Amino acid sequence: MVARAGARSREGRERRRQAVLDVADRMFSERGYHEVSLDELAGDAGISKPGLYAYFGSKEGLYVAALRRASEGLAARVEAAVAGTAGSPEQRMWRGILALLEFIDENRAAWTMLHRERVAGGGRYFEEVDRAHERMAALISDLSAETAAARGIAGSALDAAEPLGHAFVGTCESIARWWLDHPEVPRGTVAMHLMNVAWMGFGDLVEGRMWLPEAGQ
């Protein structure tokens, strides 16, 4: 009998872990946490149920591991494209958006799972899910500060920044989700829409083109 190459080695173990997480991404994203049974997941992943427990401790542990991997992967990818790179804030924002979309494109299942948990998870795994968010928000914040400084914008005009920042993230998710149903749209086009929403809104603020309700409306 031939030794199953690496299956018992250190790297084999890690490879197998990743393979299980791939299956978990797919199943959790397609059907949600509760609709997935470990019986089925173990079957699809070619592992025994006790094996699952050896790797992840519990169903929740597996779910968290999948969320964490997705969250970390996303943030790392975007950070690599933005932080400490050359170019104008605008150019770096553009590269960040492209990196975001690239990640989504290559990891649709993982991103869907992340998105679902963020908007509908009831906050139970907030910490796992929010890490990517915070790291990306920090990047945006930095870029915004740089830009504002360059344009000489005073702090008071940024009062609306928090909700609008939140809105920006929500918009990204919203458009990304729309993109999943329109895969024929090129990544660049989607990125352009995002840039417009992000930059235009910001520019409007800067230039005082803000809508205000008149009295009595």
Partner DNA sequence: AATGAATGAGTTTTCATTCAT
Partner DNA sequence: AATGAATGAAAACTCATTCAT
Binding site for DNA (CB under 7 A): 7-10, 12-13, 16, 36-40, 47-51, 53-55, 58-60
59 vs 49: CA distance, rounded Å: 10
* Site track 60-99 with a copy of itself (rule: CB under 8 A), x = hit: -------------------------------x--xx----
Q: Which does 23 bind (CB under 5 to 8 A by kind): a copy of itself, DNA, none?
A: none
Q: Which does 96 bind (CB under 5 to 8 A by kind): a copy of itself, DNA, none?
A: none
- Helix axis angle, 10-31 to 49-56, nearest 10°: 100
113 vs 79: CA distance, rounded Å: 21
Task: Give one DSSP letter per residue of 108-138, joined into a string.
Answer: HHHHHHHHHHHHHSTTTTHHHHHHHHHHHHH
Helices (H) and strands (E) in the chain — how many of each?
10, 0
* C-beta of 51 vs 201, nearer to DNA: 51
Judged by CB under 8 A, does residue 161 bind a copy of itself? no
Q: State whether the Cα torsion 148-151-154-158 is positive or negative.
A: negative
Judged by CB under 8 A, does residue 173 bind a copy of itself? yes
Judged by CB under 8 A, does residue 154 bind a copy of itself? no
Q: Residue 83 corresponds to which tokens in the numbers above?
A: 């932080």
Q: Residue 205 corresponds to which tokens in the numbers above?
A: 């603020």
CB of 60 to a copy of itself, least distance (A): 13
Q: Which does 197 bind (CB under 5 to 8 A by kind): a copy of itself, DNA, none?
A: a copy of itself
CA distances to 118, 137, 142, 196, 211 from 204, rounded to whole Å, are: 29, 20, 19, 11, 10
Pick the binder of a copy of itself from 167, 183, 206, 208 (CB under 8 A): 167
Span near a copy of itself by CB under 8 A; candidates 45-53, 59-67, 128-136, 166-174: 166-174
CB of 22 to DNA, least distance (A): 16
CB of 56 to a copy of itself, least distance (A): 17
